[in-house]
A and B are shown apart, each in its own frame.
Chain A
Amino acid sequence: EPEVTQTPSHQVTQMGQEVILRCVPISNHLYFYWYRQILGQKVEFLVSFYNNEISEKSEIFDDQFSVERPDGSNFTLKIRSTKLEDSAMYFCASSGQLSGANVLTFGAGSRLTVL
């Protein structure tokens, strides 16, 4: 079964450092998403991406965050200057259609620990 892969599985970084989380969505999918989940809390939407541009973003997705699809397969989330509160699991997801029946496939997540 096709899957979304994420790297790294766990990254530890110092506050103020830049971090790039990488995702390889399912190959024929066109819509890409980043979510995060702080330990013990809800899964929160960050951003959605389609046709090489952001289609929606949440209040969490401020100027410290950016997304990019640098080539035909990768989808990245960059955090420019990490803060302690950025420590969370970050999930990438992709979907193949734009409709209410849209089904998202999530990756296993990248755990970010900011010290």
Chain B
Amino acid sequence: DAKTTQPNSMESNEEEPVHLPCNHSTISGTDYIHWYRQLPSQGPEYVIHGLTSNVNNRMASLAIAEDRKSSTLILHRATLRDAAVYYCILRDATRAGNMLTFGGGTRLMVKP
């Protein structure tokens, strides 16, 4: 799977929006962009995914650059519960194995 690059850590204030960036300059046309997060002492949790268009769900929004070489996960109002490691992962739709490869992610700290 193509590689992603994320900042190691970010800080946010509670109740403010958070924009988590991800660079994936080697993305291929069949790669979906997935975001997962891992709360402390828990398993990874699906957040959102997209292919080309921006996506919204109850947890977050995903903004995908027009050239698809970068994306941004947007948490509209950060809460203390959103403190977690956020992983940006590319998933090749043509790959048979179907597994996800996790990188180091971005550790989001939320200040009250």
Count of chain A residues with Cβ under 8 Å from any Cβ of B?
Answer: 27
CB of B17 within 8 Å of the partner chain:
no
Count of chain B residues with Cβ under 8 Å from any Cβ of A?
Answer: 28
The number of inter-chain residue pairs (CB within 8 angstroms) is 68
Chain A contacts of B95 at CB under 8 A?
100
CB of B13 within 8 Å of the partner chain:
no
By CB atoms of chain B within 10 A, which of A55, A93, A102 has the most?
A: A102
| Interface pair B91/A100, CB less than 8 Å apart | yes
Within 8 A of A (CB), among B88-112: 91-104
Chain A contacts of B100 at CB under 8 A?
45, 104
What residues of chain A have their CB less than 8 Å away from a CB belonging to chain B?
4, 31, 33, 35, 42-45, 48, 50, 55-56, 91, 93, 95, 98-109
